[in-house]
Each structure stands twice: as C-alpha cells, then as structure tokens.
C-alpha cells in the first residue's frame, strides 16, 4: 500500500497485526478516514485544524493523510496512461472508508490544488474514486465567514462525484491567533467542544 513519509508517497507492505479480537468483532472499530488538506502550504491553518480534529475524534476512527502536493495538473491526455501520482491518489482513497476535507476558501471557491486532486481521483471515466465514498467538509479561515462559501462550492462538486456528504453540523471556523497550538490543542473550550461534537457526529454517519 502507499503511505506518506514527510509529505511524499512511499510503498509499504500492508499489515493487519494491529487489529485485535475486539476490533475484529466490531464493524466500526478501526474505521479508516483519509483526510485531505486543501492548502498546499506547510504552515496552513487548516493543517493545524486537521491535527486538532484527529486529537478530538473518537478513538475508533483511524486517520491517514492523503497528500495532493505532488500531483501534476490534470488533463484528459493522461487518461490513457495514468501516471504514478494519479494511481497512488486513487489507491489511497480506495483504501479508506471515508474522506475528510479540511480546506481553506480561495476567492470564494475551492483551492486550485484541491480541485485538481478531485479531478484526478474522478478520472478516467468510469473509475470515479469518490462514487459512494462518504465524505465530510470542514475548514478554517482568518475571515469571519470561515470558508462557508468555499465549502458550498466543494459540496457541489462532491455531489456531482456521487459522494454522500455529511450535511450537518456545518463547520466554518474563524481562526484567530493562538486558537489551536502547533500540536493541535484547542485553547478555546467552546470551540474544542464544538469540534469534538462535530467529529463524533461524523463518526456516526
């Protein structure tokens, strides 16, 4: 399988020895969530938000990042001979039970890098990786509307890709300095409880 090391894809033999008998008997135990950070910046506040969500999420959720930084710009010519980056992305999505998008809003829309990744994953025709794959969307912004418009744009794209998406509660986070530490610790108790509840709701869908 493909794993991420320092933000790059590597191939690693799959292992199942981490699943104990209790987990094997529980269909929700070890539920795998692939998360995609919509910003390509290493210092993205949405990457920080992702850390917080992973810390606060129920223990039965197992998170793995699906990186999009190294994808070339998609074009139709690739469909006849998909490059390794595109195949790795599709394999990563196939290996998880759901996809979490943690993304900023650029110019009232989806960041270009994220839209490019969705285009790669949805192609070639007839091999849409998002079909019937549950998804959830959340995002943070220094602005007070907290990615609300960008999320609606993303939900529209995911709907077209036939990905059943978590509709509520919606998560539009106004990110202020010091709200979340580098380690993903939320300093505001109200926001911390909201994010915990949001992640718990997502785990039940």
Q: Which residues of 165-190 are buried (b: 16+ CB within 10 A; e: fewer)?
A: bbeeebbbbebeeebbeeebebeeee
Condensed to tens digits (0 to 9), the pLDDT of residues 39-81 reads 999 899 999 999 999 999 999 999 999 999 999 999 999 999 9
- Say if strands 98-102 and 8-11 run parallel, antiparallel, or are unpaired: unpaired
Tokens for 23, please give them.
């987990």
- pTM of this prediction? 0.84
Terminal-residue alpha carbon distance, the chain: 26
Percent of the chain residues topping a pLDDT of 90: 78
- What pLDDT was estimated at residue 7? 43
- Say if strands 61-65 and 31-37 run parallel, antiparallel, or are unpaired: parallel
Mapping DSSP to helix (H, G, I), strand (E, B) and coil, where does residue 72 land? coil
- What pLDDT was estimated at residue 59? 92
Residue 98: cis peptide before it, omega within 30 degrees of 0 = no
> Per DSSP, what are the bridge partners of residue 99?
34, 135
CA pair distance 74, 10, nearest whole angstrom: 21
Nearest to 168 by CA among 141, 194, 140, 130: 194
Q: What is the pLDDT along the chain (205 residues), one digit of tens a residue?
A: 333 433 444 433 333 333 333 343 344 457 999 999 999 998 999 999 999 999 999 999 999 999 999 999 999 999 999 999 999 999 999 999 999 999 999 999 999 999 999 999 999 999 999 999 999 999 999 998 889 999 999 999 999 999 999 988 899 999 999 999 999 999 999 999 999 999 998 877 6
Nearest to 36 by CA among 53, 15, 20, 11: 53
């Amino acid at each position: 399988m493909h794993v991420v090391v320092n933000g790059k894809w590597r191939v690693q033999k799959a292992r199942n020895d981490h699943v104990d008998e209790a987990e094997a008997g529980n269909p929700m135990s070890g539920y795998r969530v692939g998360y995609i950070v919509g910003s390509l910046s290493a210092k993205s506040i949405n990457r920080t938000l992702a850390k917080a969500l992973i810390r606060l999420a129920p223990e039965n959720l197992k998170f793995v990042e699906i990186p999009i930084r190294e994808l070339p710009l998609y074009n139709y010519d690739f469909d006849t001979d998909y490059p390794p980056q595109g195949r790795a992305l599709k394999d990563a999505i196939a290996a998880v039970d759901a996809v979490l998008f943690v993304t900023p809003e650029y110019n009232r829309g989806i960041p270009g890098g994220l839209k490019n990744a969705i285009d790669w994953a949805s192609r070639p025709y007839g091999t849409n990786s998002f079909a019937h794959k549950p998804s959830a969307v959340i995002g943070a912004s220094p602005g007070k509307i907290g990615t609300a418009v960008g999320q609606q744009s993303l939900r529209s794209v995911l709907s077209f890709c036939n990905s059943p998406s978590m509709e509520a509660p919606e998560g539009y986070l106004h990110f202020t300095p010091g709200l979340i530490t580098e380690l993903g610790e939320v300093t505001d108790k109200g926001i911390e409880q909201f994010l915990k509840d949001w992640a718990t709701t997502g785990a039940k869908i």
